[in-house]
Chain A
Amino acid sequence: MIRLAAVMLVSLGASHAAPATAPRPQQAPPDLRPAVVIGRVIDAASGGAVRRAIVRLEGGSQPVTRVADERGRFYFRGLPAGHYSITAMRDGYFDGAFGRVRAGGDALDLPLSPGEWRTDVEIPMFRPATIAGVVGDEASEPLTGVPVEALRREFTEDGETWLSVTRTQTNDLGAYRLTGLLPGEYVVVVPSVQASMPLATLEEVGRTGATTANIMAVFFMNGGPGSSTVGHPMPGMLFDDDEANGVMIGAAATPPASPDGTRVGYPTHFYPASDSVESAVPIALASGEARHGVNVILTPQPTARVTGRVEGPDGPVPGMLLRLIRHGAADSGVPATVAATVSAPDGSFALVGVPAGAYVLHARSAVVGLASVTRIRSMAPPAVAAETQPLLGPARLFAETPLAVFDRDVDDVIVTMTSGATLAGRVEFDGPGDAPPAEQRAGLHVRLRRSTGATADVPPLGVGPDDTFEFTGVRPGRYIVEAGGLPAGWFVSSVTQFGRDVLENPVDLGVGADAFEVIVTLTDRPAGIAGTVYDSMRRAQPGARVVAVPAGRAAGLDADAAPHTVRSVRASVYGLFTLLGLAPGAYDVVVLDDRADDRWRDARTLSETGSRPVRVTVAAGQVSPVSVLK
C-alpha cells in the first residue's frame, strides 16, 4: 500500500511539473522515495538472535547507529537510494557485517533502490574460538608465567606461512587460555628465547640517556623475542656473570638448576612434542569452537654457549643485535630465535642457553625509537624513519653466519659485518593527461617488502619532488617494490628494472649488488577485468570469490604463480565484479565459494574447489569483460 501510494505521488508530481507549452526534452525528476532496511542480527552457528548488538549503517550522508532489540531486530528508514554497508558489534563476537559469510571475511555492499523495502537483511555474527591447556615441566609440575602463543596458518601475498596471532601466560596452575581465534588451523608453541645484554653495553647505553624501555625495545622491535605481531615483552630477568657477563632477559621458562652444574634450558616447544612447526600437530578450529586439553610438557635439554666477536670494515663493531635463528626458519612468522644478545663495546658477544642444532647467526644494527616503529608499521608518511637511531655503533650493517652447535660450547666465532645495499629508481606517470598535481602526490611513497614476507627493516620512503627515490643500507635479500599513498584514480601499472618485471621477479640485493633504475609506473587508465559470476541456470552468484591468476604460471592452477600476483575480489550482490590495477597479460579467472575459508591464494585450494578457469587477456589501459560459470 505504501509503495503504491508513493508511486502515485511520483506520478502526480511528474504530471504537475510538466510544462504546458515548452517543446524541449523532458527530464524525469529524481526519484527521492526513501528506502527502508529491516533486519536481524543472528548467531552464525545457531541462527538464533543476537540481542543488543550495535548496528551501524554507512553510505548515506552520515553514519547511523542503532541497537538491535532483544530479538536481534533492527531497522533503518529514510534512506536515500545508494550503496550501504551494515556492520554489527557485540562483546563475545567478531564484528558482523552484511554479506559476511565467515569470521574475518569480506563484507558486501547493500544496494538500495528508491523506495525499496529490504526486510530480509541478516547480519551473521561469529564467535571466536579458544584453545586451552596446561604447561608442565618434566616432573609434570605446572609451570607458571610461561608464554604460550598461537600460530595461525595464513595464505598471504607472500605464500603460506604461520603467523603468531595471540599470546598469553600460564597462571599459577600452569593453565593457559588463547582466545579470540578465527576459524582455521593453529599450532600452539611455548617459545623460548635466551636473550641477554652485556653489562658493559648496559653501562654504555645508560650514558646515552636511553631509558629502560629503549633498552627493552632493542630486543622487542628488532625481530628479537616477542617481536611477533601481538607479542609483548615477557619480564623475568636473570644475570649470570659466570657465563655471559650480562643480563638475561628471559622470555622462557627456566628449569631448576641442574645438580651437576650442567647448563640446561627448555627449548622452544611446539604442541604436542616437537621442536619445529613442520612436525607440530596443527589444531583445526571451527568457528566458536573451544578446544581444551592442549597440554604441553617441557623437557630440559643441555645447552651450550656461543661466543665470538663482531668485526666490521673498521674493526670491532659494538651495539650489533645478534640473533641465533634456526636454519631455514629466518624471516618466517614462526618463533625461531633461540638466543639473542647485543655485541659489547669491544665487539665481543656471548649467546647462552643454546640447544644443539643448525642455526644462522643474524647480526645487524640494533636501533632504538619505539614510537617511530609503531608509526612505520602503520604505514605513516616515511619521514618518521629519521627518528630511529642505532643503539650503539654504526647503522646499516648486516651479517648472516651459518653455525652448528653440538654438545659443547662454540667459541671464537667471527661475525663479519657488511654494508647494506642501495636500491634507487623513480616514479613515472603514464596517462593521457598531466601527472597529478604536487598536493596529490604528497603522500606518495615507495616501500620494500622481502619476498619471504618478512619485515624489510626499511621504513617506507617518500618520493622526492623529482619523483625519485633511493634506499640505502638495505639488508641483503630479495625484495618486492611497492608504491603507496597513490593519488586518487591512479594505479600501479608496472614495476620494472631495465625492462624486467620486478613485480613477479623480486629485486635481488646482495653485498655489493645494488639495484638502480627501478621504475614504478603509475597510470590513471588502469587495466583490469570486469564481469559476472553466474550458475548453470544463468542466475547471478552474489558474493562469490573471484580470483585472477597470471595465466603463464597458473597452467593447471599449480603452485608456480607468485602469490603476490594473485588478485581477488568478491562479486557484489548482483554477481558483478571489477578487478583494476592488473598488469597487462593473460589471466585465468576462477571463482569459488567464499564461505569455506580465506585460502584463495593457495593453489591447491583453487584447483580443488575453484571453478573451471576462464582465460582472459588484459591489455594496457583496458578493462576486459569476462563471465565465469560457478
Chain B
Amino acid sequence: MTLRLAFIALVTAATVSTSAAQSNLHSIFVRVVDADTGRPIPRVRVTVSVIEGTTMRGALEFTDRQGRAWLRRLPSGRARLRVLHEVFYDIAAPPGAIPPGVSVQLDDGKPPPLVTFRLARGGTISGQVFDEFGEPMAELRVGLFRQSALDGAPTSTGRSAITDDRGEYRVAGLPPGKYIIGATPTYSPRPLGEFPADVLTTAQWINVLQGWSNDVESAAGSAPPLPAPVAHTPLVGYAATFYPGDDRAHAQAVDVEGGREYAGISFTMRTTPMAFVTGTVTGMPAGLPGGLSVALVPDAPGGATHPIPATTIDIHGRFSMPFVPHGSYTLLASLKRQAGQDAYSARVPVSVGSETAAMPLVVILERTFR
C-alpha cells in the first residue's frame, strides 16, 4: 500500500516537473547508521518530498555500503526525508506511528544539508498456523495489530504475511512494543458439487461452499432454483483468530524487543457457525439497468471470519452469499441514480443463523430520491 501511494505521489510529481526544472536545484546528503553499533547500514531506502509553493516533488535513493545516499536535483522548499528498511526501523518514530522523518529547508545559496538517521534492528515474529486437525494451513493472512489506547481494540500496524505451504509466517523489522497476531483465510474458490456432511475439515467446507456460489453465478441466466444445499447440515467457517488461538477479546500480545526473534508464535484457527444466505430483491422498476449490488455489513465488527464480499443480483433479482458467519447484520442494496432515473435502495436488518439457509430473504427496494 505504501508503495502504491508512493507511485501515485510520483505521478503527482510528474505533473509539476516543468515548474521544478525552472528553479535552482539542490542536493541533500544522507547518512544512515546502526543506533547500537554506529556502523553504516547499506541499502536503506531514502525518500524525500519537497514542497515548493503549491507543488510537490519527490526522489528516492538507496544508501551505499558506507550508509550514504545523495539526493540530487531537488527544488527549493521544505524537504521531508524518510528512511525505510526491511530489518531496521527508525528509532525516532514513536511506537506504532509512521516515522515522522526529518525536515530540512532547501534555500538558494546554502550548502547541501547532511542528515543522519539512526536505525535499530527490529524484532521478528514467526510461527505456524494450523487447522482444527493440526495440519498446517497455507495462504492465511497473518496480520500484526497493536492495542488501541482508546478502546483496547486491535488496530492494524500494516504489517502482515501470508502463510506458506508449511503454514509458516514471518514478519521482521518490528519496532519494540506489544503486538497482537491475528489470522484470516484468503481462500480461492474451487468448484464442487453435492456431498454428505461427515468429516470435512472447515477448509474443505469453505471450498465446497464457495464452489457452490460459483455454480450459481454461472447458471444464473438459465433461472435455476436457488440453492439451499446445506440447509440440513451444520456449517462452519474460520473466524478471525488471534494468538494463542482465541477471539480478539482474549488475544495475547507478544512483547517484542528490538533485534530479537520470537519464533514459535503458532496457533490453531478457530471455527464459527456459518450460513448460506440467499434472497430476492424486488421493487426495482423494469427498464433500469441491472448490476444492483447487495452487501452484508456486520453490526458488531470483529466476529466475521473475513470480509464478506458484496454480490450482484442476477437477471431474476436473486442473490446468494455462501459463506456468512452467524450474527447480526445490516443488508444494504442500492442502485445509484442514473441520468433521468430514480435512485433505489434498501436497508434491512438481518439475523443470520442456522435456519437462514431454509428461508430466503425478500428485499424490497424503495425509491430514495429523484
Contact = CB atoms under 8 A, between A and B. Distances in A.
A203 interface: yes
Interface string A229-250: 0000001111101100001000
Contacts of B42: 141, 256
Nearest to B197: A67
B24 interface: no
Contacts of B124: 172
Given A67-B199, A254-B43, A239 B10 contact: yes
Contacts of A200: 14, 17
B165 A130 contact: yes
Contact of B4 (A52, A212, A238): A212
A69 B199 contact: yes
A235 B10 CA distance: 13
A202 interface: yes
B146 to A, nearest CB: 20
A70 B73 CA distance: 68
Interface stretch (B61-69, B175-183, B302-310, B333-341): B61-69
Given A52-B199, A52-B201, A172-B86, A256 B172 contact: no
Contact of A256 (B14, B63, B70, B135): B63
B203 A144 contact: no
Interface string A120-140: 000000001010000000010
Interface string A253-288: 010111100000000000000000000000000000
Contacts of A67: 195-196, 198-200, 204
Interface in B200-222: 200-201, 203-204, 207-208
B204 A203 contact: no
A491 to B, nearest CB: 27
Interface in A33-71: 52, 54, 56, 62-67, 69-70
Interface in A137-155: 139, 141, 144-145
B181 to A, nearest CB: 17
Given A179-B165, A212-B8, A257 B70 contact: yes
Given A172-B124, A237-B7, A64 B165 contact: no
A315 interface: no
A313 B320 CA distance: 55
Nearest to B20: A241
B296 interface: no
Nearest to A259: B64
B312 to A, nearest CB: 16
B204 A54 contact: yes
Given A54-B208, A172-B124, A180-B165, A63 B62 contact: no
A199 interface: yes
Contacts of A54: 192, 195, 200, 204, 207-208
Q: Give the dominant DSSP class at B's interface.
A: mixed
A439 interface: no
Contact of B66 (A65, A91, A259): A259
Contacts of B13: 199, 239
A257 B7 contact: no
Contacts of B137: 91
A257 B69 contact: yes
B14 A247 contact: yes
B87 interface: yes
A361 to B, nearest CB: 25
A247 B190 CA distance: 40
Interface in B7-21: 7-8, 10-11, 13-15, 17
A63 B60 CA distance: 57
Contacts of A89: 190, 207
Interface in A194-244: 199-200, 202-203, 206, 212, 215-216, 235-239, 241-242
Contact of A203 (B14, B63, B203): B14
A203 B135 contact: no
B193 A62 contact: yes
A254 B62 contact: yes
A226 B291 CA distance: 33
A497 interface: no
Nearest to A132: B164
A92 interface: yes
A307 interface: no
A63 B194 contact: yes
Contacts of B170: 171-172
A177 interface: yes
Given A91-B135, A259-B66, A202 B11 contact: yes
B6 interface: yes
Given A67-B200, A144-B86, A172 B63 contact: no
Given A144-B86, A177-B164, A239 B59 contact: yes
A212 B165 contact: no
Contacts of A259: 64-66
Contacts of A212: 4, 7-8, 11
A465 B207 CA distance: 43
Interface centre among A171, A180, A256 (most CB of B within 10 A): A256
Contacts of B64: 256-259
A254 B203 CA distance: 40
B172 A171 contact: yes
Which of A92, A202, A254 lies at the interface centre, i.e. has the most chain B CB atoms within 10 A of its CB?
Answer: A202
Interface string B129-158: 000010101100000000000000000000
Given A56-B193, A62-B194, A257-B64, A241 B6 contact: no
B3 interface: yes
A52 B135 CA distance: 12
A179 B63 contact: no
Interface in A65-93: 65-67, 69-70, 89, 91-92
Contacts of B11: 202, 206, 212, 215
Contact of A65 (B15, B69, B195): B195
A17 B7 CA distance: 81
A264 to B, nearest CB: 10
A27 B199 CA distance: 46
Nearest to B198: A67
A66 B193 CA distance: 10
A454 to B, nearest CB: 28
A434 B87 CA distance: 71
Nearest to A127: B165
Contacts of A238: 60-62
B250 interface: no
B96 interface: no
B173 interface: yes
B39 interface: no
A91 B203 contact: yes
Contacts of A92: 135, 165
B133 to A, nearest CB: 8
B73 A241 contact: yes
A206 B14 CA distance: 9
B62 A199 contact: no
A256 B32 CA distance: 13
Contacts of A70: 199
Interface of A: 52, 54, 56, 62-67, 69-70, 89, 91-92, 128, 130, 139, 141, 144-145, 171-173, 177, 179-180, 199-200, 202-203, 206, 212, 215-216, 235-239, 241-242, 247, 254, 256-259
Given A200-B14, A235-B4, 10 more contacts: A52-B199, A66-B196, A67-B200, A89-B207, A128-B165, A171-B172, A172-B86, A172-B172, A242-B72, A257-B70
Sort A-B residue pairs by CB-CB distance and give the 8 closest, nearest first: A65-B195, A172-B172, A63-B193, A235-B3, A202-B14, A257-B64, A256-B64, A144-B86
23 contacts: A52-B133, A52-B204, A54-B208, A64-B193, A66-B195, A66-B196, A67-B200, A70-B199, A139-B65, A171-B172, A172-B87, A177-B165, A179-B164, A199-B13, A202-B14, A235-B4, A237-B6, A239-B10, A239-B60, A241-B59, A241-B72, A256-B42, A256-B65
